[in-house]
Each structure stands twice: as structure tokens, then as C-alpha cells.
Amino acid sequence: MALTRMTLAEIKAHADRRTPAEQAEFRRRMDATTEADIRRHMIEDGEDPDAEPRFERPVLPREVRRKLGLTQTGFAALLGIPVATLRNWEQNRFAMEPAARTLLKLIDREPEAALRALRGAQAA
């Protein structure tokens, strides 16, 4: 089954289009879902239901940029993105794509190697 990204507004709009019978069926299925069902689904998805939850602090673009001592313009140029995109990330206007989050994590954890790689790509 494919995962679909939806905003809260889209979810609400989708729910509003349900007929009363569809809404009743949905509610019945939700109410019938047991903890055992949830546990089974987690296992099927490759998760360990008994593991302690792991929360990783997100890497924030502004913090990475400041750590490197770069301006927004310089950091955007290094990443090869428009300055407006970086500003939107820094001001939490738009969620970053997973690849961008991973790149920032790499830059944060291994700045020298990441900068060598990124600046080398720009020089080529």
C-alpha cells in the first residue's frame, strides 16, 4: 500500500465527502481496531512494538548555517537551492524533503567532509 502525504485540511476535506454510511463504517472499523491489531501492524511494518520510542532532534537549517558561519545567500549557493527556499525552511513555512534533511544532517555531523564534497562539486 502506498503512503500518501496529505495536509490536515485535505484529510478533513476527504472526511467531509464521506456519506453517512461511509462515515459510520469508518468509525466502526476504527472502534474495532484493537491493541493486538496495532501491534501486529507494527510487526508487519518491520517495527519493534516493545522498543522504547526513539526521538531524534531535528537538524535545523539555521543552526547548521550559523555553525558554518555562512550567510543565507552563501549557504543557499552551497546547497544549490534558491535563497527563498532556505528562508522558507528556516522560518518553518515549508517542510523539508527527506533528502534535504539528510543532507543537512550530514553537513551538521561531518562539516569538513560535506563542505569538501559540496565545494568540489561547485568547482567542477
Supply the pLDDT for residue 14.
Answer: 81
Contact yes or no for 119/78 (Cβ under 8 A): yes
Are 67 and 103 found together in one domain?
Answer: yes
1, pLDDT greater than 70: no
Containing domain of residue 108, as a range?
Answer: 61-123
Is 102 inside a domain boundary?
yes
* More confident position, 8 or 25: 25
Is 27 inside a domain boundary?
yes
Supply the pLDDT for residue 113.
Answer: 94
- Name the average pLDDT for the chain: 89
* More confident position, 116 or 2: 116
For residue 12, name the pLDDT band (cuts at 50, 70, 90). Answer: confident
6, pLDDT greater than 80: no
41, pLDDT greater than 70: yes
Is 55 inside a domain boundary?
no
Taking alpha carbons only, the member of 33, 22, 123 closest to residue 78 is 123
Helix segments in the chain, DSSP class H: 8-16, 20-32, 35-44, 61-68, 72-79, 83-90, 98-109, 111-123
Supply the pLDDT for residue 103.
Answer: 95
Tens-digit pLDDT profile for residues 55-107:
888 899 999 999 999 999 999 999 999 999 999 999 999 889 999 999 999 99
Are 86 and 117 found together in one domain?
Answer: yes
Are 76 and 37 found together in one domain?
Answer: no
Unique residue bearing C-alpha cell 490536515 = 8
Say how far apart CA 21 and CA 56 lie, in whole Å: 41
Supply the pLDDT for residue 8.
Answer: 78
Taking alpha carbons only, the member of 53, 51, 68 closest to residue 108 is 68
CATH code at position 102: 1.10.260.40
Are 108 and 65 found together in one domain?
Answer: yes
Is 51 inside a domain boundary?
no
Instruction: Name the domain count of the chain.
Output: 2
Taking alpha carbons only, the member of 87, 73, 79, 85 closest to residue 118 is 79
Are 72 and 109 found together in one domain?
Answer: yes
Supply the pLDDT for residue 124.
Answer: 47
Are 40 and 66 found together in one domain?
Answer: no
Q: What is the dihedral of CA 39, 43, 47, 51, to 10 degrees?
A: 50
Say how far apart CA 6 and CA 12 lie, in whole Å: 10
Here the cell at position 29 is 472499523
Is 50 inside a domain boundary?
no
